[in-house]
A and B are shown apart, each in its own frame.
Chain A
Amino acid sequence: MAAPAAPSLARSGGSSSALPMEEIRALTDLPDLEAAYSRLCAEEKAVEEELEMLLDQQSSVESKMVALHRIGPNLQLIEGDAKQLAGTITFTCNLAENVSSKVRQLDLAKNRLYQAIQRADDILDLKFCMDGVQTALRNEDYEQAAAHIHRYLSLDKSVIELSRQGREGSIIDANLKLLQEAEQRLKAIVTEKFDEATRQGDLPQVERFFKIFPLLGLHEEGLSNFSDYLCKQVSDKAEENLQLVMKTDMSDRRAAVIFADTLTLLFEGIARIVESHQPIVETYYGPGRLYTLIKHLQVECDQQVETVVDKFIQQRDYHKQFQQVQNSMMRSSAGEKIEPRELDPILTEVTLMNARSELYLRFIKRRIVSDFEVGDSSASEEVKQEHQKCLDKLLNNCLLSRTMQELIGYYITMEEYFMRETVNKAVAMDTCEKGQLTSSMVDDVFYIVKKCIGRALSSSSIDCLCAMINHSITELESDFREVLCNKLKMGFPATTFQDFQRGVTSAVSLVHSSLQQGKFDTKGIESTDEAKQSFLVTLNNVEVCSENIMTLKKTLESDCAKLFQQGFGGEQAQPKIDSCLSDMAAVSHKFRDLLQEGLNELTTSAIKPQVKPWINLFLSVSHNIEEEEFNDYEANDPWVQQFILNLEQQMTEFKLGLSPVIYDSLTSLMTTLIAVEMEKVVLKSTFSRLGGLQFDKELRSLIAYLTTVTTWTIRDKFARLSQMATILNLERVTEILDYWGPNSGPLTWRLTPAEVRQVLALRMDFRSEDIKRLRL
Chain B
Amino acid sequence: MSMEDYDFLFKIVLIGNAGVGKTCLVRRFTQGLFPPGQGATIGVDFMIKTVEINGEKVKLQIWDTAGQERFRSITQSYYRSANALILTYDITCEESFRCLPEWLREIEQYASNKVITVLVGNKIDLADKREVSQQRAEEFSEAQDMYYLETSAKESDNVEKLFLDLACRLISEARQNTLVNNVESPLPGEGKSISYLTCCNFN
In the assembled complex, B180 has its CB within 8 A of some CB on chain A: no
Scan B60-81; emit 1 where CB is below 8 A from any A CB, else 0.
0100000001111110011011
Q: Which residue of chain A has its CB nearest to the CB of B2?
A: A582
Tell me if B192 and A409 are in contact (CB < 8 A). no
Which residues from chain B contact A597 at a C-beta distance below 8 Å? 186-188, 191
Tell me if B186 and A463 are in contact (CB < 8 A). no
A738 → chain B, closest Cβ, in Å? 43
Tell me if A488 and B188 are in contact (CB < 8 A). yes
Give Cα A572–Cα B43 distance, bound, in whole angstroms.
11
Tell me if A396 and B42 are in contact (CB < 8 A). yes
Tell me if A590 and B77 are in contact (CB < 8 A). no
Tell me if B77 and A467 are in contact (CB < 8 A). yes
* Total residues of chain A contacting the partner, CB 8 A: 48
Please tell me which stretch of B44-52, B89-97, B146-154 contacts chain A, meaning at least 4 of its Cβ atoms lie within 8 angstroms of it.
Answer: B44-52
Partner of A412, one of B45, B74, B186, B192: B74
Scan B166-203; emit 1 where CB is below 8 A from any A CB, else 0.
00000000000000000000111101100100110000
Q: Report if A485-B189 is in contact (Cβ < 8 Å); known contacts: A572-B45, A586-B198.
A: yes
Count of CB-CB pairs between chains A and B under 8 Å: 93
Tell me if B192 and A477 are in contact (CB < 8 A). yes
Q: Which residue of chain A has its CB nearest to the CB of B80?
A: A474
Tell me if B74 and A409 are in contact (CB < 8 A). yes
Tell me if A463 and B189 are in contact (CB < 8 A). no
Which residues from chain B contact A468 at a C-beta distance below 8 Å? 77
Partner of B188, one of A478, A485, A582: A485
Tell me if A463 and B39 are in contact (CB < 8 A). no
Q: Report if A486-B189 is in contact (Cβ < 8 Å); known contacts: A572-B45, A575-B48.
A: yes
Which residues from chain B contact A586 at a C-beta distance below 8 Å? 1, 195, 198-199
Tell me if B46 and A579 are in contact (CB < 8 A). yes
Tell me if A579 and B61 are in contact (CB < 8 A). yes
Give Cα A401–Cα B195 distance, bound, in whole angstroms.
36
Tell me if B81 and A412 are in contact (CB < 8 A). no
Scan B78-119; emit 1 where CB is below 8 A from any A CB, else 0.
101100000000000000000000000000000000000000
B88 → chain A, closest Cβ, in Å? 20
Q: Report if A402-B70 is in contact (Cβ < 8 Å); known contacts: A590-B191, A593-B191, A597-B187.
A: yes
Partner of B70, one of A396, A405, A470: A405
Which residues from chain B contact A575 at a C-beta distance below 8 Å? 46, 48
Residues of A468-482 contacting chain B, CB below 8 A: 468, 470-471, 473-474, 477-478, 481-482
Which residues from chain A contact B40 at a C-beta distance below 8 Å? 396
Which residues from chain A contact B74 at a C-beta distance below 8 Å? 408-409, 412, 463-464, 466-467
Tell me if B191 and A412 are in contact (CB < 8 A). no
In the assembled complex, A134 has its CB within 8 A of some CB on chain B: no
Give Cα A257–Cα B148 distance, bound, in whole angstroms.
50
Tell me if A463 and B43 are in contact (CB < 8 A). yes
In the assembled complex, A112 has its CB within 8 A of some CB on chain B: no
Tell me if A601 and B73 are in contact (CB < 8 A). no
In the assembled complex, A529 has its CB within 8 A of some CB on chain B: no
Tell me if A481 and B1 are in contact (CB < 8 A). no
Q: Which residue of chain A has its CB nearest to the CB of B48?
A: A575
Q: Report if A582-B70 is in contact (Cβ < 8 Å); known contacts: A589-B198, A594-B191.
A: no
Q: Which of B43, B61, B188 has the most chain A CB atoms closer than 10 A to its own CB?
A: B188
In the assembled complex, A718 has its CB within 8 A of some CB on chain B: no
Tell me if A409 and B81 are in contact (CB < 8 A). no
Q: Which residue of chain B has its CB nearest to the CB of A598?
A: B188
A582 → chain B, closest Cβ, in Å? 6
Give Cα A122–Cα B187 distance, bound, in whole angstroms.
97
Partner of A409, one of B45, B46, B72: B72
Partner of B78, one of A409, A470, A477, A589: A470
Tell me if A572 and B73 are in contact (CB < 8 A). no
Partner of B39, one of A393, A408, A410, A593: A393
In the assembled complex, A392 has its CB within 8 A of some CB on chain B: yes
Which residues from chain A contact B69 at a C-beta distance below 8 Å? 409
Give Cα A200–Cα B70 distance, bound, in whole angstroms.
43
Residues of A387-411 contacting chain B, CB below 8 A: 392-393, 396-397, 401-402, 405-406, 408-410
Scan A597-613; emit 1 where CB is below 8 A from any B CB, else 0.
11001000000000000
Q: Which residue of chain A has its CB nearest to the CB of B79?
A: A470
Tell me if B71 and A409 are in contact (CB < 8 A). yes
Q: Which of B40, B61, B71, B77 has the most chain A CB atoms closer than 10 A to its own CB?
A: B77
Q: Which residue of chain B has its CB nearest to the CB of A411?
A: B73
Which residues from chain A contact B187 at a C-beta distance below 8 Å? 597
Tell me if B46 and A471 are in contact (CB < 8 A). no
Scan A395-431; emit 1 where CB is below 8 A from any B CB, else 0.
0110001100110111011001000000000000000
In the assembled complex, A319 has its CB within 8 A of some CB on chain B: no
Tell me if B44 and A463 are in contact (CB < 8 A). yes
Partner of B81, one of A416, A473, A590: A473
Give Cα A586–Cα B197 distance, bound, in whole angstroms.
11
Give Cα A405–Cα B78 distance, bound, in whole angstroms.
17
Give Cα A392–Cα B41 distance, bound, in whole angstroms.
12
Tell me if B48 and A470 are in contact (CB < 8 A). no
B177 → chain A, closest Cβ, in Å? 15
Which residues from chain A contact B46 at a C-beta distance below 8 Å? 572, 575-576, 579
Tell me if B71 and A405 are in contact (CB < 8 A). yes
Tell me if A585 and B191 are in contact (CB < 8 A). no
Give Cα A416–Cα B110 distance, bound, in whole angstroms.
13
Which residues from chain B contact A467 at a C-beta distance below 8 Å? 73-74, 77-78
Tell me if A406 and B192 are in contact (CB < 8 A). no
Scan A30-50; emit 1 where CB is below 8 A from any B CB, else 0.
000000000000000000000
Tell me if B72 and A489 are in contact (CB < 8 A). no
B105 → chain A, closest Cβ, in Å? 12
Tell me if A594 and B188 are in contact (CB < 8 A). yes
Tell me if B73 and A409 are in contact (CB < 8 A). yes
In the assembled complex, A131 has its CB within 8 A of some CB on chain B: no
In the assembled complex, A765 has its CB within 8 A of some CB on chain B: no
Tell me if A601 and B188 are in contact (CB < 8 A). yes
Besides A392-B39, A597-B187, 13 new A-B residue pairs in contact (Cβ under 8 A), listed by A number: A405-B42, A406-B70, A410-B73, A464-B74, A466-B74, A467-B78, A485-B189, A488-B189, A582-B1, A586-B198, A594-B191, A597-B188, A601-B188
Chain A residues close to B by CB (< 8 Å): 392-393, 396-397, 401-402, 405-406, 408-410, 412-413, 416, 461-464, 466-468, 470-471, 473-474, 477-478, 481-482, 485-486, 488-489, 572, 575-576, 579, 582-583, 585-586, 589-590, 593-594, 597-598, 601
**Could you list some 20 contacts between A and B, CB below 8 A?**
A397-B39, A405-B42, A405-B43, A408-B74, A409-B72, A410-B73, A412-B77, A416-B77, A461-B43, A470-B78, A474-B80, A485-B188, A486-B189, A579-B46, A583-B81, A586-B1, A590-B191, A597-B188, A597-B191, A601-B188
Chain B residues close to A by CB (< 8 Å): 1, 39-40, 42-46, 48, 61, 69-74, 77-78, 80-81, 186-189, 191-192, 195, 198-199
